[in-house]
Amino acid sequence: MPSYGEPIEELNKVRIEDNGEPLVEILKACPEIRFAADHPKFPGRERTCWARTTVAEMLCKAQSYLPDGLHLEIQDAYRSMDSQRALFLLLCEEFKMKHPEWTEAELLERTNDFVHSPDLKAPPPHTTGGAADVTLVDDSGKKIDMTSPFPWDEQSAPTNFPGISKEARANRRILISAMSKAGFTNYLGEWWHWSYGDSAWAVRIGRDTAIYGQVDRAPISNEACVGAEAR
């Protein structure tokens, strides 16, 4: 399995100069955006539809760049550090069962490729409020094909994965175009993961500072996101 992540040593060099932007509800910034009823890989896991103010505005711009009849669907956005740690451990256990031949170092490295370790110096992107995991749905809420003939998993995750169908590849191009035009950068190991303002974004565009650091305590409730998939 190839590694796609920005080098940890480069992420750790990035200075955090948090601009103090608050977290806001993405769906209030843009009612055309949807919130997934559940996570496609880890159903039942705690998620939120919150992000930094500028990120919510950028997602609204991305939505405006989509063809008629398509909507961004938020799978995940801001995470608390506790939620990040729980997800990291969950995926680590899954990989441990799938790949008993991996050493502990390989296991941690591969897990970190998909869920940023909570124990690294650079804050995980989702804990900054600068990252969102997104896909596309139609007006009825049906998910658009992004992975066929593969399931939504680590194999089909790379943005430029060559094995997907022509339809899935075309749909990824639609998403990539809208998100890039809005100003987001993509983690090439996951077609769904886009960010702005965090350490990974800084490395991708050649900055030595990030404008978002970890949000320790978010004065928010996720109640507003419940049922939002029906909007």
Q: What is the CATH number of the domain that holds 140?
A: 3.30.1380.10
Contact 171, 136 (CB under 8 A): yes
Distance (Å) of CA 155 to CA 2, 148, 226: 10, 11, 30
Q: Helix or strand or coil: residue 101?
A: coil
Contact 165, 146 (CB under 8 A): no
What are the tens digits of pLDDT across the range 6-35?
A: 888 899 999 999 999 999 999 998 999 999
Q: How many domains does the chain have?
A: 1
Contact 148, 167 (CB under 8 A): yes
Distance, CA of 120 to CA of 145 (rounded, Å): 34
- Asked if residue 158 is part of any domain, the answer here is yes
CA end-to-end span of the chain: 38
- Asked if residue 1 is part of any domain, the answer here is no
What are the tens digits of pLDDT across the range 107-154?
A: 676 666 677 777 778 899 999 999 999 999 999 999 999 999 999 888
Domain residues for the domain of 155 are 8-230
Contact 162, 196 (CB under 8 A): no
- Asked if residue 183 is part of any domain, the answer here is yes
- With a cut of 50, say whether residue 230 has pLDDT above it: no
pTM score above 0.85: yes
Distance (Å) of CA 230 to CA 32, 48, 93, 199: 11, 16, 33, 33
Amino acid 48: pLDDT: 85
Report CA torsion sign: 216, 18, 110, 174.
Answer: positive
- Asked if residue 3 is part of any domain, the answer here is no
